[in-house]
Structure 1
Amino acid sequence: MRVIHNAPASAEPGLIPVASYARTSEDFRKRDSHGVNNQHRINERSARAHGCVVVAMYTDNGRGASRPGSERPGFDQLLADLKKGIVYEGKPLRGVVSVADDRLYRRVEDFARFFEALTCRPGRVQVDQDGIRDPHTKEALLHAVRSLAAAGAETESRSRRVRDWHWSRAVDGMPHSGPRPFGWQEDRITLHPVEAALVRSAIEGRLNGKAVRAVAREWRELGVTGTRGGLPKAQTVTQIITAPRVCGYRANHGTLLLDPDSGSPIVGQWEPIVSPEQWRAVCATFEAGSRSALRGGGAPGRTGEKATPRYPASGFLRCGAELAGGGACDQKLGGGKGRSARSPYTYACKFCGRCAVSGPLVDRAIEELLFPTSGAGRVRLPRAIEQRWKSGEMGFDERRKVIASVFTCFVVRPGVKGNQAWDYSRVTPVWKWADRVASPVHAA
């Protein structure tokens, strides 16, 4: 969100303070935010033409709005400020301007959230290139519903065209159109001499009983990175060696494509790394239901399922260990069963292996950050939330939602070898909207 510093501090007669919202689904051509910048420029023109002034800009660049769970921090902050009626610097806010309604919402849930925030106070307006609307009227609501229906129909039509396009390419045996697959060169057909050799060696090693975690560690030690620059992990290696493309077979959305006449797998146009027999054999080394093989077309993974968190801080913890080359590891700590009554579960970094911590102690540190027992904390949650949390009335999912509403993540430093005392300062919180709260504190 960007506040316009030369905007009037209060609305002058006939000059309504509004927020400009801009969103694009993709920014892959020039990667210079030109799309959202153009939208803001048009929004300012529309605001001036209809007696309004832009006092703040909210942007979600390269973020879609069609899929459930899409993250749009700019949109979320816009709704929060609309409910308060002011922007961060205290300027009044009485409406929103956008180039079209579908920039704001494409799903019913977002539509409901937006209209609730916009109409929570009287005198609000919604502006676009066609004019200014009173969102409290029946006509404005009908206009918004029609826009929502049109956006939904457009999204479905576009999704169908994309699915059909990918399916047609797949049945013709053409390579995937996404990022270059590991093991092949940019043409996606010719083998990459170094990467293909690594994949072949990994498959042979797995067939001889080698763990994929060991393969991933060897690749990292060799300085190998993925085609998008990421460091190889066990799940990454599993996905690579179980993908049907390694033996020349074509898959679509994780499903192996078969010829409708012969029933045989469709063979792609690229050079294979191993034989189909080797591919089937390596897929068979993974147990049924293995969550490491979500994208392997021949592996017995539960394709389409998403692992649910089992421990309160799962997904929130980051490894603070320093790597040999400098910088922090910053990988997520995974939860697992502990070996003692004091630590029935633990959080540990499976990437570098240098950071592990007792689960209950970390959860206690997070609770102390949320509800400090001594002095004023950095945030003050309602008393009712604290009572429900500490009484045990609050459920697991709701506790995680409370944590997510306050913190972005927590950085956990490795402990000191031989020191059995628990140090709360090992858990450093990363607060949401850190610029709006007091100086950082640790749990005490």
Structure 2
Amino acid sequence: MSYARTSEDVRPRDGHGVRNQLRINERTAYGQGCEIVATYEDNGRSASRAGVARPGFDRLIVDLSRGFTDRGQLIEGVVCTADDRLYRRADDLARFFAALTGRPGRIYVDPLGIKDPYSQEGLLQAVRSLEAAVTETRTRSRRLTDWHWARAVEGVPHSGPRPFGWQEDRITLHPDEAQFVERAILDRIGGKAARAIARDWCDLGVTGTRGGRPNAQTVTQIMTAPRVCGYRANRGELLLVPETRQPVLGQWEPIVPPDQWHAVCATFSPGSLYHHRGSGAPRRTGNERTAPRHLATGFLRCGAERRDGGACRGALCAQKGRSKQSPYVYTCRSCGRCSISGPLADQALERLLFSDAQSGMRLSGAERQSWQSGEMGIEEKQRIIASAFVCCVVRPGVKGTHSWDHSRVEPVWRCLDQAAPAGASV
């Protein structure tokens, strides 16, 4: 098995980084007399941040645990350019080593040679690599944070995507977009709904800087961003000059004066306001994320087959359904070819969790009673599910089938002994 990963791709997602790593893996494998039977890659995926999905790595763990690829080829080891391509977090290291050593005789190969994952020295070397990766990540993160702050206090524009309303230099106003923003702010101060403003923009053919259609959320972000009046923010907070306690002014041309920005912000509830663009931008009030509403949210992965023969492994997200039996459904955001009834998926998760013979774990009597009586909250239920499953792969349904098939939801247990099918050989 050959694995490659890049944290970021300076060329727009063209995959040159992972391609280079895969070529190095081929050379390394050939030099050690090995043959690559499957490749796995994660392009532009961080391994150091919690919650970042790595479909290629997850698929590698599943195949490594069961001992063979989707095409039935036996797996006898893994080749990678460096340890930190595979793991930068302790939980990923544990998952990888548990899957790799689940069957005797397997090897781990990198450009420096063959490593023995079964020996104490091999495990210690992996831990040392993890410690070095964690230290490097923290140092790099601190330097990057300091760099952004230093640029911010000097009023330098954000280095991300071009903000709506400005040209590519991020300083000069875009003649058409700036007029849309100014008009929207005035309309909002006059009482117009953000949704109506977004609808007007769509009717006029206005698109975002990345080509997307405006909606109420993006329009709100644009109107309430401090940059529209020339103020500079950093990590969701207005920057102030220490001596005067006045906002730091950016180097760009403002669209409206500060009093109009304050006026438009006052028309929104505090939780709706964004200090800078982007769905991950902190809100002004520091509100926490909304609690999940559905049990299987975050645990389902798409099992639809890609064109190259591998599985999609994209995340399935909840959305509104069209029937009383399925008021909500989980649908793959990546390929859109796999969908499952929300109540069916939630029931399947509960069945798997309470099936002691399969899960290999035991819920306490109090936990079981609290769960089944409805006293346990959904966040606590998800914590228990996360301790049992890495994820659950959902196979596409069959058209015309109206009965619920719980077997479509296939678990990937954290107890990897349960993940390997009975009778599998190396």
**TM-score range for the pair, normalised by the shorter chain length:** 0.7 to 0.9
- Corresponding pairs, count: 360
The one-letter code of the counterpart of 2:157 is P
Q: Residue 392 of structure 2 corresponds to which residue in structure 1?
A: 405
Q: What's the counterpart of residue 273 of structure 2?
A: 293
In the alignment, structure 1 residue 248 sits paired with structure 2 residue 224: no
Which of 285, 288, 299 aligns to 1:302? It is 285
Shift of the 361–248 alpha-carbon distance from structure 1 to 2, 3 Å rule, reads: closer
Give the CA deviation at 1:396. 3.1
Match of 1:128 in 2: 110
Q: Tell me if structure 1 keeps the 8 A contact 2:6–2:46.
A: yes
* Amino acid of the structure 2 residue aligned with 1:197: Q
User: Secondary structure of the equivalent of 1:302?
Assistant: coil
Structure 2 partner of 1:93: 75
Q: Which residue does the alignment assign to 1:202?
A: 184
Tell which has more relative contact order, 1 or 2 (C-alpha 8 A, sep 6+). 2
Distance (whole Å) between structure 2 residues aligned to residue 202 and residue 144 of structure 1? 55
Q: Is 1:143 aligned with 2:105?
A: no
Separation in 2, partners of 1:404, 1:280: 45
Q: Tell me, in whole angstroms, the C-alpha distance in 2 between the residues paired with 1:141 and 1:132.
A: 13
Equivalent of 2:167, from 164, 171, 185?
185
Q: Secondary structure at the match of 1:110?
A: helix
In structure 2, what is the Cα distance between the partners aligned to 1:71 and 1:365?
23
User: Letter of the aligned partner of 1:62 in structure 2?
Assistant: G
| Equivalent residues in 2 for 1:103-122, closer than 5 Å | 103-122=85-104
SS in 1 for 2:286: coil
Determine if contact 1:294/1:303 at 8 Å carries over to the other structure: no
Q: Is the CA contact (8 Å cut-off) linking 2:293 and 2:378 kept in structure 1?
A: no
- Seen in structure 2, the aligned counterparts of structure 1 residues 386 and 281 have a Cα distance that, compared at 3 Å, is farther
For 2:114 and 2:156, how far apart are their aligned partners in 1?
Answer: 49
Deviates more, 1:161-170 or 1:25-34: 25-34
Identify if the C-alpha distance between structure 1 residues 403 and 409 changes in structure 2 by more than 3 Å, giving closer, same or farther: farther
For 1:59, what is the secondary structure of its paired residue?
A: strand
- The answer for the alignment partner of 1:39 in structure 2 is 21
2:28 is paired with a residue of what secondary structure?
Answer: helix
Structure 1 range deviating more: 359-368 or 201-210:
359-368
CA distance in 1 between counterparts of 2:99 and 2:83 reads: 15
Find the partner of 1:175 among 142, 157, 166. 157
Distance 2:284 2:34 in 1: 55
Give the counterpart of 1:366 among 342, 345, 358: 342
- Rate the CA distance shift 1:365–1:109 in 2: closer, same or farther, 3 A: closer
Q: Distance in 2 between matches of 1:66 and 1:33?
A: 20
Q: Relative to 1, partners in 2 of residues 1:232 and 1:386: Cα closer, same or farther, differing over 3 Å?
A: farther
Q: d(CA) in 2 for partners of 1:112 and 1:199?
A: 50
Separation in 1 of the partners of 2:18 and 2:409?
A: 24
Structure-1 residue corresponding to 2:205: 223
Does the C-alpha gap of structure 1 residues 51 and 143 become closer, same or farther in structure 2, counting only changes over 3 Å?
A: same
Deviations 1:122-173 (A, max 9, x none): 1121110111011011100111011001111111111122111111111111
**How far apart, in 2, do the equivalents of 1:30 and 1:383 lie?**
41
Alpha-carbon shift at residue 383 of structure 1 (Å): 8.6
Q: Is the 8 A contact 2:295 2:346 kept in 1?
A: no
Q: Which runs of 5+ in 1 are unaligned?
A: 1-18, 317-331, 335-346, 349-355, 373-378, 411-422, 434-444
Encode CA deviations 1:151-198: one digit per residue, 9 max, x unaligned: 111111111221111111111111111110001111111111111111
The answer to whether the 8 Å contact 1:294/1:302 transfers is no
CA change 1:114–1:369 in 2 (3 A) is closer
- Is the Cα–Cα contact under 8 Å of residues 89 and 130 in structure 2 kept in the other structure? yes
Could you tell me how far apart the structure 2 residues matched to 1:46 and 1:52 are? 8
TM-score, structure 1 as length reference = 0.71
CA distance in 1, matches of 2:328, 2:169: 48
Distance in 1, Cα, partners of 2:92 & 2:226: 38
Rate the CA distance shift 1:67–1:371 in 2: closer, same or farther, 3 A: closer
Query: What is the DSSP-based 3-state SS (H/G/I as helix, E as strand, rest coil) of the residue aligned with 1:55?
Result: coil
Give the AA of the match of 1:303.
G
Question: Is the contact between residue 6 and residue 44 of structure 2 (CA under 8 Å) also seen in structure 1?
Answer: yes
Residues 333, 203 of structure 1: CA spacing in aligned structure 2 closer, same or farther, 3 A cutoff?
farther
Matched, 1:75 2:62: no
Q: 1:66 aligns with which of 23, 27, 48?
A: 48
Contact 1:365–1:424 under 8 Å retained in 2: no
| Paired residues of 1:287 and 1:300 also in contact (CA < 8 A) | no
- Residue 154 of structure 1 aligns to a residue whose secondary structure is helix
Q: Which amino acid aligns with 1:80?
A: V
Map 1:40-55 to 2 at 5 A: 40-55=22-37
Q: Shift of the alpha carbon at 1:301?
A: 3.5
SS of structure 2 residue aligned to 1:405? strand
Give deviations 1:391-439, integer Å, cap 9, x for gaps.
Answer: 66786354797897244999xxxxxxxxxxxx998x9xxx899xxxxxx
- The letter of the residue matching 2:97 is F
> What CA distance in whole angstroms lies between the structure 1 residues aligned with 2:194 and 2:84?
45
Q: Deviations over 1:229-261 (max 9, x none)?
A: 111111111111111100000011111001111
Give distance in 2, aligned partners of 1:81 and 1:165. 41
Q: Return the alpha-carbon distance in structure 2 between the equivalents of residues 28 and 250 of structure 1.
A: 26
CA contact (8 A) 1:284 1:300 kept: no
SS at match of 2:36: strand
One-letter amino acid matched to 1:367:
P
Q: Find the counterpart in structure 1 of residue 4 from structure 2.
A: 22
Of all paired residues, the percent bearing the same amino acid is 54
Residue 137 of structure 2 corresponds to residue 155 of structure 1: yes
Deviation at 1:114, TM superposition (A): 1.0
